[in-house]
Structure 1
Amino acid sequence: MGEKVLMKGNEAIAEAAIQANCKAFFGYPITPQTEVAAYMSRKMPKIGRVFIQAESEVAAINMVYGAAGTGVRCMTSSSSPGISLKAEGISYIAGAELPCVIINIVRGGPGLGSIQPAQSDYFQATKGCGHGDYRLPVFAPSSIQEMVDLIQEAFDVADMYRTPCMVMGDGMLGQMMEPVEFKERTARNLPEKNWAANGLQGRKEHNVINSLYLKSEDLEQHNIKLQKKYSEIEKNEVKYELYNCEGEKDLIIVAYGTTSRICKNVIKAAKEQGIELGLVRPITLWPFPNEAFEKTVNNTKHGYLSVEMSCGQMIEDVKLAVNGRKPVDFYGRTGGMVPHPEDILAKVKEIVGGVK
């Protein structure tokens, strides 16, 4: 603790989970996140914890269901098509109200797509992923240090609300190297896991973990209970960064993850040409930071520009947050292509009317 070490993103994810007291990891290799599982396979058995390479992504997420049901902290990691395979299990986990952490290091799609970085899993992550009326908190780090911090935060949020949480980065964050520090954190006051299926533990009856409700009335009440929980998450767990948003701006960019880092360079280059830009950076993709737009909507002359490594997915949430009060434009690259600062700046000039 306290010293910075140079680490690859995927390996930093694994070490952060270990330091957050993750007791079990279940995964399956898929580029560009395989190093998460590789690191866990080396480290977990040496410290008396569980590592299992499952026979498939479907098996891995159901192993998470089982381990989470006993009350231990557990995690799985995958990349885009692998998360699709886990979707049914994630819905079961949400329905059974079990805490766990799911890592998605996003690659280009659809289909097998490419192994290059992308942000085209935004819909998948924020609109439910699997079937039924459920949500899961989604954290979107923009650096390896933030990824480390948010993984530990995700375990706490998962335990606090009995919910699966996702940490979603792109292939670039998984593969790049940066100095990171594993910090001492102020522990949350987390509830006891008196719901866990871990033997009688002094109880008269065993706890049962389940997501099946054969009576429609019972399932409706369960869904109402879940929605109240999601409302609490929306109230308490929103995270975002406002960068250079003070005072009047020509335009405010909205971007997350790696793309937001590129946009900070665009803001600097634009300023040299007399164009004032700000940045709204969602750190939680769900709950989406609507508050950030309430704070900035009157500060921008030409509205907002959503910049994404996708064909345009987050822009829908941006439009909902802005609610017609200002224009919302889009610039994106897809298929594993990364936006260039010069191209984003050209789009900015197109919107604001050129160099001032």
Structure 2
Amino acid sequence: MGDRILMKGNEAIAEAAIRAGCRFFAGYPITPQNEIPEYMSRRLPEVGGTFVQAESEVSTINMLYGASGAGARVMTSSSSPGISLMQEGISYLAAAELPAVIVNMVRGGPGLGGIQAAQSDYFQATKGGGHGDYHLIVLLPASIQEMVNLTRLAFDLADRYRNPVMLLADAVLGQAMEPVSFAVEPVTEKPSRPWATTGWKGDRPRNVINSLYLEPEELEKLNLRLQKKYAEISVREKRWETANLSEADVALVAYGTTARICRNAMDKGRAEGLKIGLIRPITAWPFPEQPFEEALGLGIKKFLVVEMNYGQMVEDVRLVINGRGEVAFYGRAGGMMPAPAAIVQEVRKLMGRGNC
């Protein structure tokens, strides 16, 4: 179990889901995540699970609603425009308090865009791409090993809070290969779900799963219950990583593949005498304020947010900093990736050192 295996990111997610107890997967092909449904179509029948290739992403997300409501551990995966089509169903899942794991292997946009890596779905994932007042828990892996670990965590969080969880990654992580370890024992028993619609024999109240409330008072009660749950998640489930903040004048802020590039840029800049640290959010929602408070407490007043988009997570960083420091942004999009040298140059500009 502890041996390391060389695996492609998409396939590592799929195997991690199997070992986390996922027994139902519905999906529809779209690059660059196709290896996930391909892998699941082979492996799920081997463990007594069910794989369905749906006729569309709209069908996919509604199949998850039904299977989760019946008590299964469920997952789907897609890429940006496919996730867009799922938004109504994702809102339904959140309203009905049904656990589900959704993988978005982000590609460039808007529109059909391209199949190269991007981070342009951050708003969609964190601001509620569907209708109503709801939140997904959004996890941000930066390595294939972390994809494995966070996939396991995603299923646990989905069950713990009866809420959809999204794994927000990108095409680089989906297509790259790295050694991974599946050190945790596989889940072999179905988690207890007393709320599921598994049949009624008169020995308990009937279970009803619903997101339609025609009486405003009842719908408000649902919203208040959800908000209480989101407040608990916000307190308990923020995750992040930092590096070199105690000796930094500037903090880079990035997630996913971009965080790996920024770590390279940090090392390059420090070798040139620039005092650079790094803040890497691991949850996009709930967004972790604590590392920014730590950085401010250490005297860091300059933050450079680097993303593979034209400015999305930077808005959350500016809300946290709230005028107590300078927040700059550097981004590439459409499948283009920021280079370490360009990031170091942006740090120089932020520090007022120009091209020196």
2:74 paired with 1:74 = yes
**Counterpart in the other structure of 1:330:** 329
Give me the whole-angstrom Cα distance separating, in 2, the residues matched to 1:2 and 1:343. Answer: 39
Q: Is the 8 A contact 1:252 1:300 kept in 2?
A: no
Q: Alpha-carbon deviation of 1:319?
A: 0.4
2:221 paired with 1:214 = no
Structure 1's 186 and 174: CA in aligned 2 closer, same or farther, altered over 3 A? Answer: closer
Give me the whole-angstrom Cα distance separating, in 2, the residues matched to 1:269 and 1:166. Answer: 33
Structure 1's 6 and 186: CA in aligned 2 closer, same or farther, altered over 3 A? Answer: closer
2:122 maps to a residue whose letter is: Y
Give me the whole-angstrom Cα distance separating, in 1, the residues matched to 2:301 and 2:352. Answer: 10
Q: Alpha-carbon deviation of 1:292?
A: 1.1
**Counterpart in the other structure of 1:286:** 285
Give me the whole-angstrom Cα distance separating, in 1, the residues matched to 2:154 and 2:46. Answer: 24
1:341 maps to a residue whose letter is: P
For residues 95-123 of structure 1, the C-alpha deviation after alignment (integer angstroms, 9 at most, x for no partner) is 00000100000000000001000000000
**Counterpart in the other structure of 1:49:** 49
**Counterpart in the other structure of 1:264:** 263
Give me the whole-angstrom Cα distance separating, in 1, the residues matched to 2:174 and 2:201. Answer: 40
Q: Over aligned residue pairs, what C-alpha RMSD do you find?
A: 1.6
Q: Alpha-carbon deviation of 1:89?
A: 0.2
For residues 260-294 of structure 1, the C-alpha deviation after alignment (integer angstroms, 9 at most, x for no partner) is 00000111111111101111100000000011111
Give me the whole-angstrom Cα distance separating, in 2, the residues matched to 1:202 and 1:151. Answer: 37
Q: Is the 8 A contact 2:302 2:350 kept in 1?
A: no
Match runs of 1:124-273 below 5 Å: 124-184=124-184, 192-200=192-200, 203-247=203-247, 249-273=248-272
Secondary structure of the structure 2 residue equivalent to 1:105: strand
Structure 1's 201 and 310: CA in aligned 2 closer, same or farther, altered over 3 A? Answer: farther
For residues 37-73 of structure 1, the C-alpha deviation after alignment (integer angstroms, 9 at most, x for no partner) is 0000111112211000000000000000000001210
Q: Is the 8 A contact 1:251 1:300 kept in 2?
A: no
Secondary structure of the structure 2 residue equivalent to 1:157: helix
Q: Alpha-carbon deviation of 1:186?
A: 11
Q: Alpha-carbon deviation of 1:226?
A: 0.1
**Counterpart in the other structure of 1:60:** 60
Structure 1's 39 and 201: CA in aligned 2 closer, same or farther, altered over 3 A? Answer: farther
Q: Please, which runs of 5 or more residues in structure 1 have no aligned partner?
A: none
Q: TM-score, normalised by structure 1?
A: 0.96
Match runs of 1:16-55 below 5 Å: 16-55=16-55
Q: Please, which runs of 5 or more residues in structure 2 have no aligned partner?
A: none
**Counterpart in the other structure of 2:105:** 105
Q: Is the 8 A contact 2:265 2:343 kept in 1?
A: yes
Give me the whole-angstrom Cα distance separating, in 2, the residues matched to 1:280 and 1:271. Answer: 16
Q: Alpha-carbon deviation of 1:301?
A: 4.4
**Counterpart in the other structure of 1:349:** 348
**Counterpart in the other structure of 2:295:** 296
Secondary structure of the structure 1 residue equivalent to 2:7: strand
Structure 1's 329 and 199: CA in aligned 2 closer, same or farther, altered over 3 A? Answer: same
Q: Is the 8 A contact 2:20 2:186 kept in 1?
A: no
Identity %: 58
Give me the whole-angstrom Cα distance separating, in 2, the residues matched to 1:203 and 1:334. Answer: 56
Q: Is the 8 A contact 1:160 1:191 kept in 2?
A: no
Greater alpha carbon shift after TM alignment, 134-143 vs 194-203: 194-203
Q: Which runs of 4+ in 1 moved over 6 A?
A: none
Q: Alpha-carbon deviation of 1:206?
A: 2.7
Greater alpha carbon shift after TM alignment, 205-214 vs 255-264: 205-214
Q: Alpha-carbon deviation of 1:9?
A: 0.4
For residues 111-144 of structure 1, the C-alpha deviation after alignment (integer angstroms, 9 at most, x for no partner) is 0001000000000000012100000100000000
For residues 133-166 of structure 1, the C-alpha deviation after alignment (integer angstroms, 9 at most, x for no partner) is 0001000000000010000001000000000000
Q: Is the 8 A contact 2:309 2:331 kept in 1?
A: yes
**Counterpart in the other structure of 1:308:** 307
Q: TM-score, normalised by structure 2?
A: 0.96
